Copies of this chain bind each other. A is one copy, B any other.
Amino acid sequence: MHRTKVRVVEDALDANNTIARANRDDFDRHGVTVVNLMSAPGAGKTTLLERVLGHHGLEGVRTGVLEGDVQGSLDADRLAALHIPVTQLNTDNGFGGDCHLDANMVRSAIPNLPLGDIELLVVENVGNLVCPAEFRIGEDAKAMVCSVTEGEDKPLKYPLMFRTCELVVVNKIDLLEHLDFDLDKFLYNLDAVNPGVATILVSAKAGDGVDAFRSWLAAIPERRQAAAAPAGI
């Protein structure tokens, strides 16, 4: 019974990877770099994106957002108000809705993405620390936001999520003085599951660290080109 289940999951992930590669080909054809941004519910992904994409935008990098939610378009509406091209993708299928984006869902949204007009696409995944980490969507980079209100133990409890990301944004540091959160312990736990991973300490509310995250995001397309060049693509 368990063996059968595992095989089905493997098949599903194989199929997902095939579609993720097709997405990647489409993004590449348009020269669009894709960042898959993940977190638990309420960690502050949207507020952070408002901060880095609002005002003067992303250091001249034309950016769009694909907004993944179970239901509704609350976050998409917040970002669209900043005059950023935003596409909503809802995972609600009549039951509770899917708890993550997969490659096929992203594929279904591609005709609605302004790929000719942007250089960077930020995909705001569904708030969840488990399944979003399991499904590639054709992204160039995975990053996550973790709020200090969630506790120091989260890297140990959701290791795949923390291991799969190349950047962990530690958000809501303005609340540190009101919490029992031990930042050193969190970073120690993070290093245990993903040694040497990049981190940025941020308060999306107060503004600390927002510039560093903006620069990280803005540099992704350049890094992608540099990585692609030697391969002669």
Binding site for B on A (CB under 8 A): 2, 5-6, 9, 13, 40-42, 69-72, 74-75, 93-99, 126-131, 133-134, 147, 149-151, 153-154, 156-161, 172, 174-175, 178-180, 205
Contact = CB atoms under 8 A, between A and B. Distances in A.
A147 B71 contact: no
A157 B93 contact: no
Contact of A205 (B13, B74, B175, B180): B180
Contacts of A40: 40-42, 127
A9 B98 CA distance: 11
A133 B69 CA distance: 16
A75 B157 CA distance: 9
Nearest to A150: B42
B9 A129 contact: no
Given A175-B178, A205-B180, A151 B42 contact: yes
Nearest to A98: B130
| Identical chains bound together, number | 2
Given A71-B157, A71-B159, A159-B71, A133 B175 contact: no
Given A149-B149, A175-B175, A156 B99 contact: no
A40 B99 CA distance: 12
Contact of A175 (B93, B149, B151, B158): B149
A68 to B, nearest CB: 11
Given A6-B94, A159-B71, A127 B126 contact: no
